[in-house]
Structure 1
Amino acid sequence: MDTNAYNTGLTELRGVRDDIKAVRRDLEKLQRELQKLEADRDKRVIALGAYGKAKSDRIAPAAGMSIVEVTALVAALGPDVAAAAQSAPTVPSAEPVPGAPAPDLRRPDHEPAPTAAAPTEEDGKGEDIQEEQAGEPVAAPNQAAAPPVTAAPEGVSRELPSIPVGERGDAWMVAAKDLVSRRPTYTQQVWDTAFLDVESGMLVHKGTTGRIDLGSRSAADILTAVAAVLPESVERIYITAGDPWHRDADRFPHLKDAVADWLNAPVPGWAVASGKGQAKGKDRLAGHLLHERLPIGRWQHGSRHLELCPIGAWFEPEGADPVTVRDAFVLLWKALHEHWSDVVLMGSPARTGRDLWSRTIPTKTGAKWADGYPVMSSEIRGLLHATAGQGRTELFLPPQVPEQLPQVTELDRTFAYGKHTWIGAVGVPQRVSAATFASWSEKEQINALYRPSHWQIRVTVSDGWNHVGLLPAPVTGEAAWTYPNQPGRTFTTWAGGAEVNLALRNHLAPWRIEILDGLMWESSSPLREWADKLKDAWNKLTTRASMHADERERTASHLAARAVRSILLYGVGAFAQRPRINTGTVPVGEEHRVPAGAVIIANDGETITWERTTFTPDPYAHPEWAAGVWSGARAGLLSMRMREDNVSVGALHLPPNSIVAFRTDAIYTTADVTWPYHGQPGDYLLKGHLPFPVTAPTTLTELMTLKSLGRAHLAEQQEAIQ
């Protein structure tokens, strides 16, 4: 492709963009045509992206897309976009050190891995978005349709970023300037909180319970009703049932549009909260959080501030009334107070988790890391963000599984992330090039893979492999990652040491791994004290939930235990510090007001809409910790040794083709499973069972239906036995 062809391609792409805009005006009637155009646009973006001088900031406005969306299709165009605002160097494609062959790892017993020919702080919104994306996916509310989840979706291969060769890459191995994680010197301020069931109108505040008329359940009607009966000290209201932001979902093509309409509707006398004027330690953010399942509305009326929050960020209430939900929060606070005398339940489990962790940072003079944990350079943080995925979600379709399943069993790892916090990466990483790794002895190589580490690798699936995939491969599209398992297939990816070790040393057939580059940290335990305290709180609440004589207390204890789990789960995810995506508008003709680093994503002739992706300075940004926990959890989903029982558990210890689906820390299988369960973090608990033939699910909705039926059937069986 030459320059003329490239410019012609941009012009054609702009035409496609305009066609897309026209189609969207009548989306309900022309949905199929829109999908065709978007597919055409993506194909053109991919083709243009192959041009050597292509730039995402030119293709994005031409396509009517954001840089994030363009780089999801053509990762080579902007792998370091998250650090763009800080003038981070461009991350090039993978380039091995000249003259340094990638070493072929071997098993400890010197058995060679099989070889195969390779087939060819602007505002608070970003923090909330980061929290809701952290950790495992949350089940969506009932919707008309859910997107299908395919097994090993091939899509288009997505190239992951690499560390630049030589001194440019070595310059990344530094701590971020003036960013250190230190224990806070202030105490969080408590928020006065109420609980509201929007379906029934039941409102609970401290020891007072009553019912109020919520009118049409609009934001205006709810704020007017609660403000009339609650004292001005109340600043946060948890919605325990009703999801009022979904009340007009049938009127909109997308659920998120319905939520946006509900949040942005006029509320007489109230304005969107600005977050200004708050005291130190006040957990107050600005603006609404637009999220299709877990939105947060923030308003202010003079000096009064009020948030409407879904309880689903903490736990699913499972039909519990607001009084029981309030009791659950009281029990949660008491359980945490045993370990943190200054505990405050903040606006989300993610912020609560990170605040509690910050209060475990060592302060004793002479203690290691007493001066705080250094934050890595923006380049390394951006690299981890782009190359370290979260939980594994995969649905296997016929013919990989029978169209008629003989039965379905759900096995869920109890408090799974708590199993993988005992060791963590600290300090500035050491870069390990292919040449350096090759120069080490076999023992040194093995030790390196057992250290906290993150590796760029070339993977070849072993010959004769007939089980699920072991390592993630990047693809375009919503899935982002797939897990190839075709014998002899070769792909390049990044993975944590836990997963690399599993691929090399699994009991079925070791895969061939070639180290291309890597990051290795000092081993320590930055999360252990925090996680141990949360585990203890979870254990006590779980025990109380199983033994208390009163049913309401059992339910409240169970919900409180689930909230502790969310604090750990979302707290780990909060360390990832995802980039913040901010949008804004300026009138046509005032393009000079578009912020530096922003991309124009829409222009209707009157208003220009821009989008900017940034990393804001965050002293608690530690994506290396989140990446390590996620990698360990994905490996544990496949194989884990229960030493006290001398037995191995996980998907690789089930028959091939018996795996129906993975859902973060759960396995759905057709096999009969009798694994030991002691109620410890990481143990596999039998959560659901359908002991009769069912049709294999082909969508997420169908899988969730089987999940609900399986859990209900198992509960009935257990009640019958009792």
Structure 2
Amino acid sequence: MNSKDFTAGLAELRGLRDEIKTLRKQLAKLETARDKQITALAAYEKAKAERIAPAAGVSVADVVALAPTLAPPAPPQPQEEPAPTPQAATNAAGRPEPTGVPAPDLRRAPGKPAATGTAPDTTITGGSDAPPAVGTPSSHPGPGRQPTTTPAADGEQPEQVRELPSIPPGQDGDTWFTATPNLTSTRPNFTQQPRQMAFLDATTGVLVHRDTTTRLNLGTGSVADILIAVYATVPATVERIYITAGDPWHRDAERYPFLRDAVAAWLNGPLPDGWKIESTRGRDRLAGHLVHPRNPVGRWQRGDQHTEIRSVGEWFDPDGATPATVRDAFVLLWRALHRHWPDVTLMGSPSQTGRDLWSRTIPTKAGAKWADGYPVMSEEIRGLLHATAGQGRTELITPPKVPDRLPQLIELDRTFAYAKHTWASGVGIPRRITAAAFAALSEKDQINALFAPSHWHIRVTIPHDWNHVGLLPAPAAGDRTWHYPAEPGRTFTTWAGGAEVNLALRNPHTPWKVEILDGLLWEAGSPLREWSTRLKDAWASLRAIAATHGDPKQRTAAHLASRAVRAILLYGIGAFAQRPRITTGTVPTGAEHDIPTGAQIIGTDGHTITWQRDTGFARDPYAHPEWAAGVWSAARAALLSTKMREDNLFVGALHLPPGSVVAFRTDAIYTTTDPAWPYHGHPGDYLKKGHLPGPVTGPRTEDELLSLQTLGRAHLAEEQEHHR
């Protein structure tokens, strides 16, 4: 082929591209007309899904999704089986449990792409990549039998357990499955305005602005003292003051029962003349303070001048770095991102920055999939996901499940883990898959549904011979949000993402019994892939600088910048979850009547009362909790089992000996076994981050675990230094 032939081939390819776009538009119109016709035919009193489906060229499940009234009844209970016990037939509130449909045996499923959003080169789950089964399935109750619920080992009573919401039956629930009117995620048509920054060590008083370093007298470290000292040195155009060390908001912490109270008192302290708490809003500016115990945000204004005081800990742990090094880290961060986003602006927090960068990857080319924007689901579905889709797994396993004295403690942490699970996500408005609709599916379609982006309301029975960690989250009692039951024979009802349900059905030991009660099923798409790929490239380039630069200060700055990229992706994903908005405010003591209705008092210093109020979900065009839930579910599944293709090796907690796992903390496993898993520095690889030789008294509390974590990391660092 010569240059002329190549050019001619490109022209032909463009023609084919345009023709495909035209045909796709025509196909979309035809499919819309078909769906309307199916809905119209379903109104006929004698209509049957099995007659409409072949005429429409779709499956029975597709017809049932469009016309739920055509769903066949759930499988009847076998007559010879005894009636369910009262405990098994009712939930914690005493209401009848819905009838479930057993999920198929996924161990027999052919090779499939994972439902986890994991890149193809490291699929967590998927047919031929599934870890070989160990042992045989336990005997489970039959499809129509309600298994007896076993109380939790720690003595929790069923009525104490938090009950998760469910989708209302019938038409009431079907109305949830719509888009929020006039609300879509579209690429912004404006460029964010950069904000000047200054970096302040509140302990030493060292302030860095651009190339200037100054030492300030911060007085008592109050808001007033900081504002006066800083703006006597830098211009009023500086809008962000990042605290790199010193945490001035904790200066009077010993006077308060909780850190949050001390932070609120500091933020609401006296101000210099002319200053007040910010009350205006802009496109990328929020009014008022964010009262956070460790990384608060204070916002003030003086006329047209706006200022934020923030903790650099939102982005990374500076770990003793000077303000100048922190400034260099932000410069390197901007440069790394600028290669992929020419219009990048570093916003106040990594979550804001991450979501803004993602919005600039939304397709805009005419004819491209989702070029008109990603629809935002109804508030009901968003609220359901908020209540039923947890984030990272945090669990401490104590005796007798682990020994009192541990032979050693190893910390294994997944590198940049969430970046591994953004390959595929659910897009659009989900289909509702009720138990009846699931029962109507062929086994092949049921398997396809369990491999697709999905979120399931399920009843779970743990095998009677189970001797490993729990696999699926369940609502917990008390202050805990989720726990992970592992007691053999126990039955519980919960919600779980498709990745975790998939793993539970074909884990490397014994498959769990899962009954489908209801579910949400999305079309598979890749809304996060380009964004994540660009961030991973920026992360890798900064890590390379951190490993090879000749200047130790620049190596440190590059390392901190790479951690900032991690925070952008991590908190950017969290921002999609769009939790209910919390509004915070203050009133003078004695003016309690000015506290808004429904607000909760969260602190007082004797002069000022601080309150907060849950104002519900805002009309956020970038609210996509389905994406956050999918990534979190995939990461929790990978914490248990994932395949390293380059090494043809399965890794994760389920590939450690039973009884050896002591704790989980988001992306980390704490274990008494050192598996020596390969580490290549890729996203998702397990890095040995700590080693504490034994015997060690096993932790009983979170604080004890963190203390052992610190000791283990220090000991491993000494070991590594000794072997250099």
* TM-score normalised by structure 2 residue count: 0.78
Query: Compared with structure 1, are the counterparts of its residues 447 and 589 closer, same or farther at alpha carbon in structure 2 (3 Å cutoff)?
Result: same
Asked whether the equivalents of residues 103 and 437 of structure 1 are also in contact (C-alpha less than 8 Å), the reply is no
* 1:308-366 deviation digits (Å, cap 9, x = unpaired): 10011100001111011000000000000000000000000000000000000000011
Aligned to 2:197: 193
Aligned to 1:40: none
Query: Compared with structure 1, are the counterparts of its residues 153 and 423 closer, same or farther at alpha carbon in structure 2 (3 Å cutoff)?
Result: farther
Aligned to 1:119: 149
State the percentage of identical aligned residues. 64
* 1:587-615 deviation digits (Å, cap 9, x = unpaired): 999999987xx5365799x9997844311
Query: Compared with structure 1, are the counterparts of its residues 630 and 286 closer, same or farther at alpha carbon in structure 2 (3 Å cutoff)?
Result: same
Aligned length: 596
Asked whether the equivalents of residues 113 and 504 of structure 1 are also in contact (C-alpha less than 8 Å), the reply is no
Asked whether the equivalents of residues 453 and 521 of structure 1 are also in contact (C-alpha less than 8 Å), the reply is yes
* Alpha-carbon distance between aligned partners in 2 of 1:601 and 1:288, rounded to the nearest angstrom: 16
Query: Compared with structure 1, are the counterparts of its residues 443 and 152 closer, same or farther at alpha carbon in structure 2 (3 Å cutoff)?
Result: farther
The reply to whether residue 164 of structure 1 matches residue 168 of structure 2 is yes
* Alpha-carbon distance between aligned partners in 2 of 1:396 and 1:334, rounded to the nearest angstrom: 43
| Of 263, 273, 294, the match for 1:259 | 263
Aligned to 2:697: 695
Aligned to 2:459: 458
* Alpha-carbon distance between aligned partners in 2 of 1:102 and 1:351, rounded to the nearest angstrom: 42
Asked whether the equivalents of residues 464 and 487 of structure 1 are also in contact (C-alpha less than 8 Å), the reply is yes
* Alpha-carbon distance between aligned partners in 1 of 2:520 and 2:270, rounded to the nearest angstrom: 51
Asked whether the equivalents of residues 409 and 671 of structure 1 are also in contact (C-alpha less than 8 Å), the reply is yes
Offset at residue 160 of structure 1 (A): 0.5
Aligned to 2:482: 481
Offset at residue 113 of structure 1 (A): 6.7
Offset at residue 691 of structure 1 (A): 2.5
Aligned to 1:671: 673
* Alpha-carbon distance between aligned partners in 2 of 1:588 and 1:712, rounded to the nearest angstrom: 48
Structure 1 residues 533-572: aligned runs within 5 Å: 533-572=534-573
* 1:402-450 deviation digits (Å, cap 9, x = unpaired): 2221111111101000010000010110000001111212221111011
Query: Compared with structure 1, are the counterparts of its residues 166 and 586 closer, same or farther at alpha carbon in structure 2 (3 Å cutoff)?
Result: farther
Offset at residue 586 of structure 1 (A): 9.4
Aligned to 1:295: 296
Unaligned runs of 5+ in 1: 1-74, 78-91, 121-149
* 1:50-103 deviation digits (Å, cap 9, x = unpaired): xxxxxxxxxxxxxxxxxxxxxxxxx999xxxxxxxxxxxxxx97863xxx6523
TM-align CA RMSD: 2.8
Question: Secondary structure of the equivalent of 1:179?
Answer: strand
Aligned to 1:704: 706
Asked whether the equivalents of residues 290 and 584 of structure 2 are also in contact (C-alpha less than 8 Å), the reply is no
* 1:452-477 deviation digits (Å, cap 9, x = unpaired): 00000000011111111000010233
Asked whether the equivalents of residues 420 and 683 of structure 2 are also in contact (C-alpha less than 8 Å), the reply is yes
* Alpha-carbon distance between aligned partners in 2 of 1:586 and 1:458, rounded to the nearest angstrom: 47
Structure 1 residues 493-512: aligned runs within 5 Å: 493-512=494-513
Query: Compared with structure 1, are the counterparts of its residues 94 and 349 closer, same or farther at alpha carbon in structure 2 (3 Å cutoff)?
Result: farther
Question: Secondary structure of the equivalent of 1:529?
Answer: helix
The reply to whether residue 471 of structure 1 matches residue 472 of structure 2 is yes
Aligned to 1:55: none
Aligned to 2:222: 218
Question: Secondary structure of the equivalent of 2:503?
Answer: helix
Offset at residue 154 of structure 1 (A): 4.6
Offset at residue 302 of structure 1 (A): 1.9
Structure 1 residues 127-206: aligned runs within 5 Å: 154=156, 156-206=160-210
* Alpha-carbon distance between aligned partners in 2 of 1:385 and 1:490, rounded to the nearest angstrom: 24
* Alpha-carbon distance between aligned partners in 1 of 2:570 and 2:266, rounded to the nearest angstrom: 29
Aligned to 1:368: 369
Question: Secondary structure of the equivalent of 1:515?
Answer: strand
Offset at residue 401 of structure 1 (A): 1.8
Asked whether the equivalents of residues 278 and 306 of structure 2 are also in contact (C-alpha less than 8 Å), the reply is no
* Alpha-carbon distance between aligned partners in 1 of 2:347 and 2:154, rounded to the nearest angstrom: 38
- Structure number with greater Rg is 2
Offset at residue 548 of structure 1 (A): 1.5
Offset at residue 115 of structure 1 (A): 0.9
* Alpha-carbon distance between aligned partners in 2 of 1:304 and 1:313, rounded to the nearest angstrom: 24
Give the letter aligned to residue 704 of structure 1: L
| Of 244, 248, 251, the match for 1:244 | 248
Aligned to 1:518: 519
* Alpha-carbon distance between aligned partners in 2 of 1:153 and 1:200, rounded to the nearest angstrom: 51
Give the letter aligned to residue 205 of structure 1: H
Aligned to 1:359: 360
Offset at residue 271 of structure 1 (A): 3.5
Offset at residue 268 of structure 1 (A): 2.1
Aligned to 2:391: 390
* 1:486-529 deviation digits (Å, cap 9, x = unpaired): 00000000000000011000010100000000000000000000
Offset at residue 570 of structure 1 (A): 0.2
* TM-score normalised by structure 1 residue count: 0.79
Aligned to 1:632: 634
* 1:646-705 deviation digits (Å, cap 9, x = unpaired): 110000000111111101000111102211111111110111111232221122222112
Query: Compared with structure 1, are the counterparts of its residues 546 and 459 closer, same or farther at alpha carbon in structure 2 (3 Å cutoff)?
Result: same
* Alpha-carbon distance between aligned partners in 2 of 1:306 and 1:219, rounded to the nearest angstrom: 11
Pick which of 395-404 and 257-266 moved more. 395-404
Asked whether the equivalents of residues 104 and 447 of structure 2 are also in contact (C-alpha less than 8 Å), the reply is no
Give the letter aligned to residue 108 of structure 2: D
Give the letter aligned to residue 296 of structure 2: P
Asked whether the equivalents of residues 679 and 685 of structure 2 are also in contact (C-alpha less than 8 Å), the reply is yes
Question: Secondary structure of the equivalent of 1:266?
Answer: coil
Query: Compared with structure 1, are the counterparts of its residues 602 and 695 closer, same or farther at alpha carbon in structure 2 (3 Å cutoff)?
Result: closer
Asked whether the equivalents of residues 434 and 515 of structure 1 are also in contact (C-alpha less than 8 Å), the reply is yes
* 1:275-296 deviation digits (Å, cap 9, x = unpaired): 5274xx5x32211111111111
* Alpha-carbon distance between aligned partners in 2 of 1:287 and 1:608, rounded to the nearest angstrom: 12
* Alpha-carbon distance between aligned partners in 1 of 2:260 and 2:452, rounded to the nearest angstrom: 42
Query: Compared with structure 1, are the counterparts of its residues 187 and 622 closer, same or farther at alpha carbon in structure 2 (3 Å cutoff)?
Result: same
Give the letter aligned to residue 408 of structure 2: Q
